[in-house]
Structures are given as C-alpha cells and as structure tokens.
Chains A and B, each alone.
Chain A
Amino acid sequence: MLIPKNNANQMRAKILIKLAESYFADKFANADRIPLDLRPKEMQPSRCCIYKDRAVLKYRCMAGLGVSPDSETDELKTLKEYGADALKRTEADKSRLSVIDIACSACIKSQYMVTNACRGCFAQPCRLNCPKEAISIVNGRAWIDPEKCVNCGKCHEVCPYHSIIRIPVPCEEACPVGAITKDEFGKEHIDTEKCISCGKCLMSCPFGAIVESSQMVDVLREIHDTEHKVVAMLAPAVVGQFPGDIHNMIGALKKAGFDEVVEVAVGADITTQKEAAEFIEKMEAGEKFMTTSCCPAYYRAAKVHIPEIAPHVSHTKTPMYYTAELVKKECPDCKTVFIGPCLAKRVEAEYDPNVDYVLTFEEIGAMFVAQGINVDECPAEDFKEVSCAQGRKFPISGGVAGAVASLVEGKMEIKPELIDGLSKENIKLLKRYAAKGCDSNMIEVMCCEGGCVAGPGCIALAKKAARAVESYVAQGEDLSKK
C-alpha cells in the first residue's frame, strides 16, 4: 500500500532517524532542534511558512517519541521534556493513530461538483435523474443545490460528458470502517472504538496529518538502559525490506543490541498446522466456511464491524502469538519485540502478555541508520529454529490460504478464496457471505492489498519485496513433508 514517490512517507522516516540520533547523542537534550534542522530558515516552506512547518514537525516528533499529539496539555512543553518522560515510562503508550489538527487541511466535505465541461445540454440527464431535485440549470449550466444534494452520485454516473466530478476526502475514503470523520471545524478525528488500526488513513492523507505513536524509544531504552534480555521476533515480511538477506538481518539486529533474533515464520508454521486441523474439524462438523484470523486489522474489523462473520473466523492464534509463546517459555524474563510491517499488530500485542513491543520496519531502519549499521555488511547468521516454505509465504496475498490448503489437500476438499485488501466493498462482501454463504470454504482476508509486504510499516516496494519473499519461500522445506 505504500505509495511510492510520496514526500510524507519520507518525512516520517527522517524524523525517526533524527530522534534515534538524538537519543544516542544526548538522550533528547537537544531534541527541540530537530524541527529547526529539518526546516532551516533558508528552506522553501511546504506549508504557509517555515514556522508552521516546524510546528507540525514538533507534533511528528512527539508521535515519534511515542506520545500522541492529542494528549498535549501544554503547548510549551518541549521535546526534551517529552523525551525525558518517554525514557521514564515502563510501558508503551496505548494511544494509536491520531490526527495532528494543525496539519489537517480540513478538506471540503466529500461532494459532487459540476465542472466547465458541462455543455448545458438539451437532454439534461443529471437534472432528470436526481432523486432529490437538487439540480437546476443556471446560466446555461447544471448547478447542484448543496442544501438538497445527498451525495448519491447519480448525476455523476449519467452525465455523457463526464462533467460532474466527485471530490473525495482521502482519509475518509481510505478508512474501510468509517472511523474517521470531521468535527464542526472540518478537522478529522479518529474514533478509537471503531478504528481497526490498519493505517490506511495515514497512508492516504496528502498532508501527512495522521501519525502513529512509535515504540522505538521504548525499545531503545530496553536495549541500552536496562539489564533485560531483548529478543527480536522478525515477521516473515522482513525478507526484501533491507539490502542484504534475512541472515544479514540477524547480524544487524545483534549489532543494534538485540540479544537474540527469531523468525516469526516459525510461528506461522504452527499457525498453518493448527488452522489446517481446525479447518478439517469445522468442515466435518458441517460448517460452511472458515476465514483466516492472522491479520489483526481484519480480526478486529470482524469483531467490531462484521459481527455476522465473527463465528466463521478461525480460533487459531497468529504467528506472532506462537512465536512469542516459544520465546517466553524459554526465557520468561526477556522482553520481546515484534518487528513487522503492521500497525494493527500493536493492538494485538496489547492483548498478548508475551509480546512487549511492536516495531515497524521503518522504525528498526531508523535505529540502524542512527547507529551507522549497514545491513548488507553485517555478518550473516543462522536462526536456531528454521521455518518452512509455508510459514515464509504468509506475507504475500494467498500465502496463508495456500499454506493451509497444502496441509488439508487429500484429506478434505478445500476451495480457497482471497479477499485481497479490506475495502468498504469487501466488508460488504463478507457480510453477504455470512448471510447467504459463498462458493468457497476457506477465505483468506488480508487488510493490506497484496498482503503484509504492502503494509504501512514497510520500506521496500511491495512488488520487489514480494519477489524476495518468493525466493526465500523456494529455499524452504515443505511443512507437509516434515
């Protein structure tokens, strides 16, 4: 989902790097210089003036320190103070996606507009098809009465000149569950009860107004300021995210201070086995279909927004769960850090006592940069426990269903279907499946289109990353032959 050629994404990475550098330099004592460094006086402002740019950057830095901009009570509180607080807390901040209100441009409410292309034609299909009689012809051109218009889009559909356009609000458009809406001033707000933390709003906002509270500082503190053993759990989507391969990545993480590195694809193999067994059991019990459960954004969406599909969701736990369970069994006092492409995993981790922190690839990348670590120059190491092809393929759309199918085939008929991307339309589709059934009996749901390799926390291009994952899959052993 990461949109290439996007300034907002690049700024997010830069801020995380600056913050990590500031941690290593003087534990944030000079963090208030970051907005000035990134927007020096001589630079062309990207908003109205550099002062507003800097003000927005301060809020971004707050989010980078793991403090939601929403929680601000004193505008004069410095980044140095926020940084000091961040180093004192013993648990990551629970607030998630939030809107920097001064960065939100308060886009006009989504609406239809008649453009110059209108020729004031004789047929007037727009006027005749409008169910609210909102359209009249003024000065030889169609005009929409905003008081009467209900945004149904009929006029837009019927105009033979395509002269009526729809102006969307990007974040509201992207949110599959209607969790982001305008207040009386036109600024957007996220309803945390409804939010599934998928990060689609964050990726879609052209003003970069939506931020997420980072846990990078918490992990830096655990590694460098405590005696805890810290274990990195690498999501299978990591392959292809950094130059070098997954074995260099182990070396890089150890250089960054992690005591041990395990691959979550091992947990994904366990998920595959349990989900395959559950599938057979459910089908034998006469159930019509089952959906996957490993995408945390979908899992929450099913619970909160599609209650009718909830009984069909697999009870098997996620790869992160099984991996963390293994790690904590061996070392109960260690701190576990999941490193992946996903923002919704942070929410899953809150309910999983075995997972202490969640980092995105972007955050771990920023830590590498600040410490001058080049992944491809790090010594290649091996995992103690090695994953199979099945678990490795989880991050690509079709990977989970394919893995389960590979263990079920021959024992039971399996007809997989992929819901690739949790859009508004696909939520409707799932509701319909719950009500009326479907032709398939195994539905894989991935919130991010393309799978986890296209997650909001990714660095590499999804296509390129998917290629790297495929080649890692090809090197893996077949779980069904083990």
Chain B
Amino acid sequence: MEKVTVKICAGTSCFVMGAAQIQALEFTPPEDIADKIELVEVRCMNLCKDTTAKYNRGPFVMVNDELIEEATFEKVVNKIREVLKNKCD
C-alpha cells in the first residue's frame, strides 16, 4: 500500500509554534500508523504570511494533500488514520 505523506513545515514560525513537537512522529509514532507514513520536512510554505487571515494559524502540516492548521500531534495522527481508513473503504 502507498504510504501517507506527512509534510511537516520546518519554517521557523511553524517550528517555534509547535511543529518541532510533531516531529515526535519520527521517534514515537503510534503503532498502527508507524509503517504507513512517510515524513517529510518541508521549508516554509508561506502559509504563515497569508495576510488575509487574522492570525498566524501555524504550525502547518500537510497530510497527503490536506492542510492542517494549528496542527498538533493528535490532530495529525487523527488525520492520518482518517486518510488510511478512506483508502481501505
């Protein structure tokens, strides 16, 4: 099965706001998804510079082509599970 790509923004803004902590996926991923994900550190995607948004909604993470705003470890893991489940259905 094709792996789910998880792009974690490593721009300074996302990193400071919590992306660094989402990198825990690299060391302690939940067992059910451990071998089904591919982690990619990407450079600033310029989403934090979106001036139409009232606040910086980082950290940003992309799970396949879906964007997660104000990403947390939990949010990202849930999204990965959702994507995997949709694939199976």
Contact = CB atoms under 8 A, between A and B. Distances in A.
Contacts of B73: 4-5
Nearest to A361: B16
Contact of A365 (B16, B23, B49): B16
A9 B19 CA distance: 12
Contacts of A347: none
A464 B23 contact: yes
Nearest to B16: A365
Given A374-B11, A376-B10, A463 B17 contact: no
A143 interface: no
Interface residues of B, number: 24
Interface stretch (A10-18, A145-153, A420-428): A10-18
Given A2-B21, A376-B11, 7 more contacts: A5-B21, A5-B73, A17-B16, A17-B56, A243-B15, A368-B12, A463-B27
Contact of B16 (A2, A5, A376, A459): A459
Nearest to B49: A372
B56 to A, nearest CB: 8
B72 interface: yes
Given A374-B12, A374-B44, A4 B17 contact: no
A460 B54 CA distance: 27
A369 interface: yes
Most buried by A among B13, B23, B26, B43: B13
Given A243-B10, A368-B12, A376 B43 contact: yes
A376 B72 CA distance: 23
Contact of B12 (A5, A7, A362, A375): A375
Nearest to A461: B23
A5 to B, nearest CB: 4
A369 B21 contact: no
A134 interface: no
B16 A369 contact: yes
Given A37-B55, A243-B11, A376-B10, A461 B16 contact: no
A242 B43 CA distance: 12
Nearest to A464: B23
B24 A243 contact: no
Contacts of B21: 2, 4-6, 9-10, 461
Given A6-B21, A463-B27, A362 B11 contact: no
B12 A365 contact: yes
Given A243-B11, A377-B44, A4 B16 contact: no
Contact of B41 (A2, A243, A375): A243
Contacts of B32: none
Q: Is the interface of B mostly helix, strand, loop or mixed?
A: helix
A430 to B, nearest CB: 31
Contacts of B16: 13, 17, 362, 365-366, 368-369, 459
B24 A242 contact: no
B12 A369 contact: yes
Interface in B61-86: 72-74
A391 B56 CA distance: 38
A375 B14 CA distance: 12
B20 interface: yes
Contacts of A374: 11-13, 43-44
A366 B13 CA distance: 8
Contacts of A5: 21, 24, 72-74
B18 interface: yes
A10 B74 CA distance: 14
A373 interface: yes
Nearest to A14: B17
A243 B12 contact: yes
B23 A242 contact: no
B43 to A, nearest CB: 7
Interface string A1-41: 01011110110011001000000000000000000010000
